[in-house]
C-alpha cells in the first residue's frame, strides 16, 4: 500500500501565502522521510478552484473564472517547483475528470439515501465559504475570522444527511490518533457532541461550480467538491474515471495535513461523506497551527503578509525550512520573527553544522594528504560520537514518525553541537604539534567527519539541499529520495552505519556549505 498524504487544496482567490507554504514544506519533509524509509509515497497537493469567492475575484480582475484559475494555479505549481516540493500529484478541481469523480461520488451518496432537499437560511461568509452558526447578534453581523460582513442566504438547497452519522463520527473522533495533535481533539468532540446537523451541499444561481446531476440549477457547494479532489488526485494520466479503481491505487490516505481552521471539514464532514459513499476513512487528520508575524496576524490590510516567493529569493530553501520546522512545534501556533529567524539560521546551520565540517575537513586535508584520515579506534561502535550519532538517529526517527519536526531537528543539531564540543576538548590543532599523537589526531578527525556525514544524512528529509552539500563535501553522493520500495534496508538506512565513511577518500576543497543570512531591512 502506498503512503498517501495530502496538503489542503489551496484556494486560488489569491497568490500563495506563507500559510500554504508552511503546510506544503511540512508535507514535503514527511514525504521525503517516508520515501527514504522505503515507502512508496503519493504526495498530493493542488488547487481548490470553485465557489463564489473565486468567481468574484475573477470578476474583479476582469477575467473569466477559468482564466483566473489557470493563472493562479500556475503560480502555485511554479512556486512548488522552485521550493523543490516533491509532490507527485497536483490536482485542480476545475479538471474535467474531477467533475466526473464528483458525479460518481454523489451518485453513491444519493443511493445511500443521504441527499434531501431543504431550505437553507443563514449568514454566509464568502471568504470562509461557510455558513456561520452563531454570528454575533447585530443587524450587520461579520465573520469573526475575516472581519467582513456576512451575507444572508435563504434558498432551497440539497442537504447531506450528516445527522445520520452522529454515532459513527462520535466514535471516530474519540479514536486515538485520528485527530492530531491530541490537543485538537477536544474541540472537535465538543462540536460533534452538540449534535450534527445536515449541511447543504449545493447552491442555486452559482454558475462557477460543478452542476449537480439530476438537479437543474444547482451546483455543488465548493467544500463538497474540494474534498473529493483528494480522490481525483489519485487518477493516473489518461485513466478513465472509476471510483473503485481509485480506491485500489492509493485510498485511503494515511494523512491529511491541514490548518486548524479547516479541521471540522476534514474530521467530521469528510469522513461522513466517505462513509455514505462506502469508502474507507483516512487514518489521521493533522491540524497545524497558525503563523503570525512579529506577534501580529498577517493580512493584506496590515500590509505585513510574508511573501513566499520573496522569502525564497532572499533567504533560500534551507533557511526557511529550518526555521519553520525547527522552531515551531508542529501543531502549535507560531510567530515568524525575523531576528530569531536569522539568528537560528546563522547559529545552527552556518556556525554549528557548517563550520564543524569546514574546519574538520580543512585540518584533515592539511595533515592527511587531502583525504579522510585512517579511522582506527574511531570506527568502533563504542566511540562516544558513534553512540551520540546512533542515539540521535533513533530519536530523530521516532520524532519524525510523530511529525515532531522540532525534536527531530534538535536531535541533529545536538549531534553537531556534541561533535563541536568533542573537537574543542580534544584540540587536534594542539595535539598535532606533539610528535607521536598523529594517530590519535587522525582518529579524532575521522570521528568528527563521520559525525558530519550522519548530520548530512539525517538532514535529508528536512533540508534536502543542505544535506546534499554536506555530503558532497565528504565526497558522498547525495541521498536520492526516489522511492524503491523493494530495497530493504534502503540506501538511506544502510548509510546510517557508523564507520561508513571510507578512510583515504579524497576530500574536496572545503567551501562554506551554508551562507549566513544578512538581512538588511524587513522582509
Q: The C-alpha cell of 362 is what?
A: 580543512
Q: Is 149 left (phi over 0), alpha (psi -120 to 50) or beta?
A: beta
Which residue in the set 3, 22, 83, 492 belongs to the binding site for ligand MSP (CB under 6 A)?
22
Smallest distance from ligand MSP to CB 13, Å: 8
Nearer to ligand MSP, 331 or 442 (CB): 331
152, β-bridge pairs:
123
Which residue in the set 28, 44, 48, 57 belongs to the binding site for ligand MSP (CB under 6 A)?
48
Query: Alpha-carbon torsion 264, 269, 275, 280, what sign?
Result: negative
* Residue of 116, 123, 117, 74 whose CA lies nearest to 94: 74
Smallest distance from ligand MSP to CB 311, Å: 14
> Which residues, 6 or more positions from 110, have their beta carbon under 8 angstroms from its beta carbon?
214
* Residue of 154, 131, 153 whose CA lies nearest to 143: 131
Smallest distance from ligand MSP to CB 336, Å: 9
For residue 193, the SS3 value is: helix
Nearer to ligand MSP, 11 or 492 (CB): 11
Q: Please count the other Cβ atoms lying within 10 Å of the Cβ belonging to residue 281.
A: 17
CA angle 187–191–195, rounded 5-degree value: 160
Smallest distance from ligand MSP to CB 207, Å: 19
Q: Does 246 bind ligand MSP (CB under 6 A)?
A: no
Burial (CB count <10 Å: 0-12, 13-18, 19+), residue 247: middle
Smallest distance from ligand MSP to CB 8, Å: 4
Candidate segments 2-10, 77-85, 442-450, 485-493, binder of ligand MSP by CB under 6 A? 2-10
Residue with grid cell 512545534, as numbered in its chain: 329
Q: Does 109 bind ligand MSP (CB under 6 A)?
A: no
How many whole angstroms separate alpha carbon 423 and alpha carbon 425? 6
How many whole angstroms separate alpha carbon 396 and alpha carbon 451? 15
Nearer to ligand MSP, 183 or 494 (CB): 183
Nearer to ligand MSP, 114 or 129 (CB): 129
| CA atoms within 13 Å, Cβ hemisphere of 63 | 14
Q: Please count the other Cβ atoms lying within 10 Å of the Cβ belonging to residue 339.
A: 9
Q: Is 521 left (phi over 0), alpha (psi -120 to 50) or beta?
A: left
Candidate segments 66-74, 76-84, 210-218, 223-231, binder of ligand MSP by CB under 6 A? 223-231
Q: Does 233 bind ligand MSP (CB under 6 A)?
A: no
Smallest distance from ligand MSP to CB 328, Å: 10
Q: Does 226 bind ligand MSP (CB under 6 A)?
A: yes
Element at 370 (helix H, strand E): none
Smallest distance from ligand MSP to CB 212, Å: 18
Candidate segments 16-24, 207-215, 355-363, 423-431, binder of ligand MSP by CB under 6 A? 16-24
* Strands lying side by side in the sheet with 3-11: 89-92, 41-48, 3-11, 255-259, 284-288, 179-180
Element at 465 (helix H, strand E): helix 464-473
Candidate segments 4-12, 107-115, 178-186, 354-362, binder of ligand MSP by CB under 6 A? 4-12
Which residue in the set 11, 106, 199, 269 belongs to the binding site for ligand MSP (CB under 6 A)?
11
How many whole angstroms separate alpha carbon 479 and alpha carbon 492? 7
Q: Does 331 bind ligand MSP (CB under 6 A)?
A: no
Nearer to ligand MSP, 312 or 475 (CB): 312
Nearer to ligand MSP, 20 or 254 (CB): 20
Candidate segments 6-14, 111-119, 173-181, 498-506, binder of ligand MSP by CB under 6 A? 6-14
Q: Does 404 bind ligand MSP (CB under 6 A)?
A: no
Which residue in the set 2, 19, 418, 442 belongs to the binding site for ligand MSP (CB under 6 A)?
19
Smallest distance from ligand MSP to CB 396, Å: 25
Element at 217 (helix H, strand E): none
Q: Does 8 bind ligand MSP (CB under 6 A)?
A: yes
Candidate segments 5-13, 149-157, 405-413, 500-508, binder of ligand MSP by CB under 6 A? 5-13
* Residue of 346, 302, 353 whose CA lies nearest to 519: 346
Helix, strand, coil distribution of the chain in percent, nearest 5: 50, 15, 35
Nearer to ligand MSP, 226 or 393 (CB): 226
Q: Does 172 bind ligand MSP (CB under 6 A)?
A: no
Interactions with ligand MSP, residue window 296-315 (CB under 6 A): 298
Nearer to ligand MSP, 17 or 164 (CB): 17
Would you give the binding string for ligand MSP spanning residues 256-295, x where CB under 6 A is met? --xx-xx---------------------------xx----
C-alpha 23 chain-centroid distance: 4
* Residue of 463, 248, 271, 457 whose CA lies nearest to 349: 463
Smallest distance from ligand MSP to CB 119, Å: 26
For residue 53, the SS3 value is: helix
Residue nearest ligand MSP (C-beta atom): 259
Instruction: Give residues in contact with ligand MSP (CB under 6 A).
Output: 8-11, 19-20, 22-23, 48, 226-227, 229, 258-259, 261-262, 290-291, 298
Amino acid at each position: 500500500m502506498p503512503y498517501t498524504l495530502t496538503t489542503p487544496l489551496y484556494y486560488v482567490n489569491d497568490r500563495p501565502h506563507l500559510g500554504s507554504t508552511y503546510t506544503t514544506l511540512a508535507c514535503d519533509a514527511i514525504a521525503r522521510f517516508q520515501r527514504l524509509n522505503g515507502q512508496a509515497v503519493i504526495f498530493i497537493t493542488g488547487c481548490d478552484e470553485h465557489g463564489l469567492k473565486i468567481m468574484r475575484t475573477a470578476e474583479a480582475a476582469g477575467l473569466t473564472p477559468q482564466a483566473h484559475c489557470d493563472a493562479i494555479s500556475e503560480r502555485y505549481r511554479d512556486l512548488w517547483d522552485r521550493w523543490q516540493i516533491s509532490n507527485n500529484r497536483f490536482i485542480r478541481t476545475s479538471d474535467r475528470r474531477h467533475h466526473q469523480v464528483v458525479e460518481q461520488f454523489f451518485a453513491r451518496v444519493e443511493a445511500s439515501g443521504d441527499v434531501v432537499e431543504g431550505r437553507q437560511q443563514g449568514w454566509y461568509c464568502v471568504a470562509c465559504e461557510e455558513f456561520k452558526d452563531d454570528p454575533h447578534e447585530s443587524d450587520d453581523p461579520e465573520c469573526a475570522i475575516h472581519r467582513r460582513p456576512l451575507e444572508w442566504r435563504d434558498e432551497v438547497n440539497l442537504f447531506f444527511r450528516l445527522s445520520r452519522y452522529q454515532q459513527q463520527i462520535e466514535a471516530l473522533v474519540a479514536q486515538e490518533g485520528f485527530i492530531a495533535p491530541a490537543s485538537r481533539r477536544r474541540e472537535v468532540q465538543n462540536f460533534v457532541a452538540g449534535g450534527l446537523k445536515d449541511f447543504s451541499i449545493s447552491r442555486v444561481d452559482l454558475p462557477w461550480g460543478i452542476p449537480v446531476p439530476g438537479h437543474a440549477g444547482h451546483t455543488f457547494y465548493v467544500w463538497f467538491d474540494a474534498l473529493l479532489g483528494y480522490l481525483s488526485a489519485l487518477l493516473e494520466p489518461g485513466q478513465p474515471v472509476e471510483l473503485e479503481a481509485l480506491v485500489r491505487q492509493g485510498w485511503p490516505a494515511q494523512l491529511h495535513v491541514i490548518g486548524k481552521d479547516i479541521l471540522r471539514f476534514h474530521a467530521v464532514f469528510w469522513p461522513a461523506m466517505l462513509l455514505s459513499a462506502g469508502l474507507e476513512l483516512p487514518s489521521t487528520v493533522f491540524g497545524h497551527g497558525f503563523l503570525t508575524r512579529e506577534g501580529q496576524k498577517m493580512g493584506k490590510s496590515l500590509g505585513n503578509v510574508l511573501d513566499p516567493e520573496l522569502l525564497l529569493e532572499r533567504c533560500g530553501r534551507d533557511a526557511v525550512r529550518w526555521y519553520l520546522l525547527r522552531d515551531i512545534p508542529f501543531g502549535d501556533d507560531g510567530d515568524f520573527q525575523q531576528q530569531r529567524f536569522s539568528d537560528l539560521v546563522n547559529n545552527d546551520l552556518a556556525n554549528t553544522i557548517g563550520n564543524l565540517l569546514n574546519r574538520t575537513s580543512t585540518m584533515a586535508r592539511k595533515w592527511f594528504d587531502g583525504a579522510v584520515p585512517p579511522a582506527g579506534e574511531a570506527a568502533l561502535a563504542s566511540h562516544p560520537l558513534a553512540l551520540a550519532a546512533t542515539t540521535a538517529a533513533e530519536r530523530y526517527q521516532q520524532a519524525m514518525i510523530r511529525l515532531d519536526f522540532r525534536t527531530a531537528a534538535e536531535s541533529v543539531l545536538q549531534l553537531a553541537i556534541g561533535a563541536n564540543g568533542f573537537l574543542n576538548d580534544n584540540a587536534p590543532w594542539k595535539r598535532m604539534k606533539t610528535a607521536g599523537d598523529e594517530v590519535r589526531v587522525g582518529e579524532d578527525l575521522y570521528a568528527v567527519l563521520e559525525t558530519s556525514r550522519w548530520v548530512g544524512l539525517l538532514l535529508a528529509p528536512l533540508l534536502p539541499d543542505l544535506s546534499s552539500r554536506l555530503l558532497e563535501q565528504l565526497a558522498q553522493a547525495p541521498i536520492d529520495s526516489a522511492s524503491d520500495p523493494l530495497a530493504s534496508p534502503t540506501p538511506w538506512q544502510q548509510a546510517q552505519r557508523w564507520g561508513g565513511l571510507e578512510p583515504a577518500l579524497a576530500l574536496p576543497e572545503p567551501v562554506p556549505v551554508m551562507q549566513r543570512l544578512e538581512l538588511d531591512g524587513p522582509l
